[in-house]
Structure 1
Amino acid sequence: MTRRTPRLLAALLASTALALAGCAADDPGSAPSPDAGGASYPVTVGPLTLDERPEKIVVLGPTATEMLFAIGAGSQVAAVDDNSNHPAEAPKSELSAFTPNAEAIAAKDPDLVVLTNDLNKIVDQLGQLKIPHYLAPAATTLDDTYRQITDLGALTGHPTEAADLVGRMKDDVGKLVGDLPQRSEKLTYFYELGPEYYSATSRTFVGSLFGMVGLENIADPADPNGSKGGYPQLAEEAIIKADPDLVFLADTRCCQQSPQTVAARKGWSGMTAVKNNQVVPLDDDIASRWGPRVVDLLRAIVDAVAKVPA
């Protein structure tokens, strides 16, 4: 999959504009029409071509909702799924991203549907209904996030805003990682998705963020070849034996877990992370999404690491 940086995207857009200008000089009817924001249509991203700027976007997936509002396309969003809770002004509806219904989506009369999953074969159904759609599946690296933001910027008529957002994210990520002090030994961590001890390995998107910070994941041995999709369930005894330096809780909202509930677990009070007050509560939503707020998640990780004595 080709990944384009904002600089490369700008160069490509500039060269395209020059080529189109040259064609227009010979054939005035060949020039694309600009929208109110100055972006030119038609626009093609992968197999999808939009002839006009979409003004009734339906979004199925909280991460995609966050991306669209972050690039200034919020006013074009007509409806979002029932789990899209950020930003607060997103027009939440009865639509479900987990059990998508093509007829319910079509009833919104969208000129673009943005999805983060192809559940219920919804992509095929939207194709049969001739409803334009863009699939932005869960990212595995930050480059995936940057590409999706760039694609959505192009499709919605906000390429400049998308490029600016990606640039800011890259700058923030670079500074956060670059400012970390070097350590002679890697710190270890346990990332908790739920009190049943499901975790995420280094193969996952969130695992890659911890890897950028130089942490060692105690969940990796539980899924060495990725056969569990990068989300193994660990035995409690294995976690206690691994004795991680840090514990990150991504189940504070869903399951009311906290440093206090962790300390109260049998056998956990003697764990290094618990003894040294290095159990870190995270916002479940931010920890489960790969959109613009991934910088906030990385910052929480970096702040926790910085508090551990070198």
Structure 2
Amino acid sequence: MRRIIGALLLLVPLAAGCGGSEGADGEDRPATGSLTVEAANGEVTLPSAAKRIVSLSPTGTEMLFAIGAGGQVVAADDYSTYPKEAPRTELSGFQPNAEAIAGYKPDLVVIATDQGGILAALEKLKIPVLHEPAAEKLDDSYDQIADLGTVTGHEKEAADLVSDMKKRIDAAVKAAPNGSGLTYYHELDQSMYTVTSKTFVGQVYSLFGLQNIADKADKQGSGYPQLSAESLVKDDPKFIFLSHPKGTGDSPETVVKRPGWAGLTAVKDGHVFTLDDDISSRWGPRLPDLVEDISEAVKRAA
């Protein structure tokens, strides 16, 4: 199952040591005192700003580069496809190898999942780990950006990034008409796995008042039910958003060939849209791009 991604309010790190200082040019300076943040693995304290970071989180990698800490990242996992200058390696976040990670001599490792007990393995090697899992609510994304700003000495740049994200998101939501009463379907792949309103990306759609047809189908409460073609045709959503992995799946032009889809309101009205699956499945700095894409779609229905 693919991870999903978002954002609204900035949370200040629960605990912080001496942060970075701002120079005359307005840029952050590396922190020299100890730094403490509260992550999913509890309080994480570094003696000073991390200078050799290994990121096993594609979203974490994006965040680090977006706050100006890209130069402090010595290695990123094989799914860290953005930005292009990220030092992508064969390291895996799904099958992590503690010895391979240690080979980069990191003073901090950022993870999104504790696969294979990697957290304990790295802690045994005395390597600090920051566990920043997939965002569950809209606030989490900003909180994680703030955490990474603190441990890298880029607090100001992190705060500036969050401020810019909030402004763009607010503007995009205000630019669209209220979507209350309008239904949508967000497709993860051709097998019709989807998301509900309680997922991170589902909450992004909720910003516009859109109603998710998958909510009633999630009998297990996983947040990611699989719909049937029959139920989709019956619910007849106003919008369809395709977020397939790159190079796979259908397009707005080809979904009409699916049985029963030619008669769907979204298809007839031209309200089938393609979303970048990297952006819609992550919860990082490009979140405003997703919100703006949804905003444009809602405006077309006005």
In the alignment, which of 249, 266, 269 is matched to residue 273 of structure 1?
A: 266
Match of 1:300 in 2: 293
Match of 1:23 in 2: none
Pair 1:222–1:254, CA change in 2 (3 A): farther
SS in 1 for 2:224: coil
RMSD: 2.3
Q: Residues 252 and 281 of structure 1 are in contact (CA less than 8 Å); yes or no, is this contact kept in structure 2?
A: no
Match of 2:277 in 1: 284
1:71 aligns with 2:67: yes
1:194 aligns with 2:189: yes
For 1:38 and 1:102, the matched residues in 2 are separated by 27
Structure 2 unpaired stretches of 5+: 1-6, 19-27
For 2:9 and 2:221, the matched residues in 1 are separated by 32
Deviation of residue 257 (structure 1)?
1.7
In the alignment, which of 30, 33, 44 is matched to residue 36 of structure 2?
A: 44
Deviation of residue 7 (structure 1)?
8.8
Q: Aligned residue pairs: how many?
A: 284
Deviation of residue 86 (structure 1)?
0.5
Pair 1:7–1:64, CA change in 2 (3 A): closer
Match of 2:156 in 1: 160
Q: Residues 254 and 284 of structure 1 are in contact (CA less than 8 Å); yes or no, is this contact kept in structure 2?
A: no
For 1:6 and 1:61, the matched residues in 2 are separated by 21
Deviation of residue 118 (structure 1)?
0.7
Pair 1:6–1:194, CA change in 2 (3 A): closer
Q: Residues 252 and 282 of structure 1 are in contact (CA less than 8 Å); yes or no, is this contact kept in structure 2?
A: no
1:275 maps to amino acid:
K
1:139 maps to amino acid:
A
For 2:54 and 2:164, the matched residues in 1 are separated by 26
1:254-300: per-residue Cα shift (whole Å, max 9, x none)?
Answer: 42320122111011000000001110001111111100101101111
Match of 1:260 in 2: 253
Match of 1:133 in 2: 129
Larger Rg computed on CA atoms: 1
Pair 1:215–1:230, CA change in 2 (3 A): same
In the alignment, which of 225, 232, 236 is matched to residue 229 of structure 2?
A: 236
For 1:152 and 1:280, the matched residues in 2 are separated by 33
SS in 2 for 1:259: coil
1:124 aligns with 2:107: no
In the alignment, which of 199, 203, 222 is matched to residue 208 of structure 1?
A: 203
1:91-129: per-residue Cα shift (whole Å, max 9, x none)?
Answer: 010101111111111111111000111111111111111
Structure 1 unpaired stretches of 5+: 18-35
SS in 2 for 1:248: strand
2:232 maps to amino acid:
I
In the alignment, which of 85, 95, 98 is matched to residue 89 of structure 1?
A: 85
2:165 maps to amino acid:
M
SS in 2 for 1:306: helix
1:78 maps to amino acid:
V
Identity %: 49
Match of 1:247 in 2: 240
1:221 maps to amino acid:
K
Structure with bigger helix share is: 1
Q: Residues 178 and 209 of structure 2 are in contact (CA less than 8 Å); yes or no, is this contact kept in structure 1?
A: no
SS in 2 for 1:240: helix
2:193 maps to amino acid:
Y
Given the two structures, how large is their TM-score scaled by the length of structure 1?
0.86
Q: Residues 184 and 241 of structure 2 are in contact (CA less than 8 Å); yes or no, is this contact kept in structure 1?
A: yes
Q: Residues 11 and 146 of structure 2 are in contact (CA less than 8 Å); yes or no, is this contact kept in structure 1?
A: no
Match of 2:3 in 1: none
Deviation of residue 228 (structure 1)?
4.2
